[in-house]
Amino acid sequence: MNRYRRFTQICTLILSNCYILSGLKYCPFPIMNCHACPLAATACGIGALQHFLTIGAFPFLVLGIFLLIGSTIGRLLCGWACPFGFFQELLYKIPMNKLTFPQWTGMFKYLIFLVLVVLLPMVVQEPWFCKLCPVGALEAGIPLWIKDEGIRQMIGPLFHVKFLILYGLIYLMMITERPFCRMICPAGAIFSLFKKISLFRVNGVPDKCIPCNKCTRRCPAGVTPISNDCVMCMNCVGTCKNVWAGMNPPQRHRDTGKSEK
């Protein structure tokens, strides 16, 4: 399963940064891939959402895409397609002392979504998440800083703040599993709302769970499949009979009537 996932992650990384397909920028894509990257082929869903909120228009197209994808496959794109998620998984492979953050830190992403993606763009008409986004620093800031003399001359304090966030996050990526997805990602915050209601789901049976941590050890985000932070990678599906992936819980779990919280 992990091999297929790697393959789709690499394909998405190439396709979303394949300049010849830049006509796809008409479509907001709900994965973290900055559209200011010189090679980007798709528009960032979160960037587009903020753009509509800054101009005071209701984002029908962007919300429609988030609703359609969220209600069909939930957070599957996070685990199988997001280039920044892939980057985090690669960095976590660097041998270092590893750390696990408490589950409640996952609530930060909802706060970040509300304040930086929705409220501030509406009130001050500036895309504040984009201004601080570490994905933009990595994919757009670095290449354009190298390439463009004009950009280098315009650099101010915000650029350094953005890079400080990126450096801090890169360190976190090396010591803990997918910290951006769990604590910061606004797209993940939207998709995690569909965790228990999407058509295709990965979930577990809370009542039958003995905390053996077999699933968390296989998880690239270091969480259980019951958690809202689950990125639906499906690595845990074969490891425990209480974990299932599909449209409905298997019959043996439905019989108990307690298949999901």
Partner 1 sequence: MNIIKQYLWIPLIVLGIGFITLGILRAEYEKVYSNAAFICLSCIGIEEAY
Q: Nearer to partner 1 by C-beta: 157 or 211?
A: 157
| Residue 248 binds partner 1, judged by CB under 8 A | yes
| Residue 48 binds partner 1, judged by CB under 8 A | yes
Give per-residue burial for 154-173: e unless 16+ CB within 10 Å, then b: eeeeebeebbeebeebbebb
Site string for partner 1, 8-27 (x = CB under 8 A): --------------x--xxx
| Residue 57 binds partner 1, judged by CB under 8 A | yes
| Residue 146 binds partner 1, judged by CB under 8 A | no
Place of tokens 């973290």: 32
Give me the residues paired with residue 43 across strands.
Answer: 28
In this chain, which of 95, 102, 157, 211 binds partner 1, going by CB under 8 A?
Answer: 157
Task: Return d(Cα 79, Cα 29) in angstroms, integer.
Answer: 15
What is the smallest separation between the CB atom of 198 and partner 1, expressed in angstroms?
A: 6
State whether residue 44 is helix, strand or coil. strand
Contacts of 73 (CB under 8 A, 6+ apart): 198, 199, 200, 232
Give per-residue burial for 21-37: e unless 16+ CB within 10 Å, then b: eeebeeebbbbbbbbbb
Q: Which stretch binds partner 1 (CB under 8 A): 11-19, 100-108, 152-160, 178-186?
A: 152-160
What is the smallest separation between the CB atom of 124 and partner 1, expressed in angstroms?
A: 9
| Residue 52 binds partner 1, judged by CB under 8 A | yes
| Residue 71 binds partner 1, judged by CB under 8 A | yes
- Token pair listed for 183: 């604590």
Packing angle, helices 157-175 and 83-92, rounded to 10: 60
| Residue 256 binds partner 1, judged by CB under 8 A | no
| Residue 64 binds partner 1, judged by CB under 8 A | yes
In this chain, which of 159, 214, 239, 245 binds partner 1, going by CB under 8 A?
Answer: 159
| Residue 61 binds partner 1, judged by CB under 8 A | yes
For partner 1, the binding residues in 114-143 under the rule CB under 8 A are 125-127, 130-131, 133, 136-137, 140-141
Per-residue CA distances from 190 to 112, 199, 212, 247 (Å): 11, 16, 29, 20
Task: Return d(Cα 212, Cα 240) in angstroms, integer.
Answer: 10
Residues that bind partner 1 (CB under 8 A): 22, 25-28, 34-36, 40, 42-44, 47-48, 51-52, 55, 57, 59-72, 125-127, 130-131, 133, 136-137, 140-141, 144-145, 151, 154-163, 194, 196-199, 248
